[in-house]
Amino acid sequence: MNRDKMLQRLKTKVSEKRFEHSLGVEYTAACMAMVHGADVEKARIAGLLHDCAKGIPTKEKLEKARKNGIFVTKYEEKNPEMLHAKLGAHYARYKYDVHDEEILDAIASHTTGKPAMTLLEKIIFVADYIEPNRKPIKELDEIRKEAFTDLDACVLHILRNTIAYLQTSKEEMDYATQMTYDYYKALE
Ligand SMILES: [Fe+2]
Ligand SMILES: [Fe+2]
Which ligand is closest in space to the CA of residue 134? 2
Among the listed residues 92, 17, 13, the one whose alpha carbon sits nearest the alpha carbon of residue 50? 92
CA of 128 to the centre of ligand 2 (A): 5
* Dist. CA 89 → ligand 2 center (Å): 13
> Looking at this protein, which amino acid is placed at residue 160?
R
| 22 CA from centroid of ligand 1 (Å) | 9
CA of 25, nearest ligand number:
2
Ligand nearest to the CA of 55: 1
Among 100, 76, 90, 95, which residue's Cα sits nearest to residue 177? 76
Q: Which of 85, 100, 126 is nearest to 39 (CA)?
A: 100
Q: Phi/psi zone of residue 33: left (φ > 0), alpha (ψ -120 to 50 degrees), beta?
A: alpha
pLDDT in the model for residue 188: 87
CA dihedral 131, 11, 44, 165 (to 10 degrees): 30
How far, in Å, from the CA of 11 to the mean position of ligand 1?
Answer: 16
What fold characterizes domain 3-137? Hypothetical protein af1432 (1.10.3210)
| Whole-number pLDDT of residue 170 | 79
pLDDT of 136 reads 87
Q: From CA 47, how far away is CA 99, in angstroms rounded?
A: 15
| Residue 98 to residue 89: CA distance in whole angstroms | 9
CB of 60 closer than 8 Å to CB of 87:
no
The separation between the first and the last C-alpha atoms of the chain, rounded to the nearest angstrom, is 40
Ligand nearest to the CA of 89: 1
Contact between 92 and 106 (Cβ < 8 Å): no
Supply the pTM of this predicted model: 0.96
Q: What is the DSSP string of 72-108?
A: --HHHHH-GGGGHHHHHHHHHHHHS----HHHHHHHH
Predicted confidence at residue 116, as pLDDT, reads 97
Centre of ligand 2 from the C-alpha of residue 51, in Å: 5
Per-residue pLDDT of the chain (188 residues; tens, 9 = 90+): 999 999 999 999 999 999 999 999 999 999 999 999 999 999 999 999 999 999 999 999 999 999 999 999 999 999 999 999 999 999 999 999 999 999 999 999 999 999 999 999 999 999 999 999 998 888 999 999 999 999 999 999 999 999 998 888 878 888 899 999 999 999 98
Ligand nearest to the CA of 83: 1
**CB-CB neighbours of 141 under 10 Å:** 9
Give pLDDT, residue 174. Answer: 87
Distance 37 CA to ligand 1 centre (A): 24
CA 51 to ligand 1 center in whole angstroms: 5
Strands, E assignment, the chain: none
Tell me, what's the pLDDT at 167?
Answer: 87
Contact 146, 157 (CB under 8 A): yes
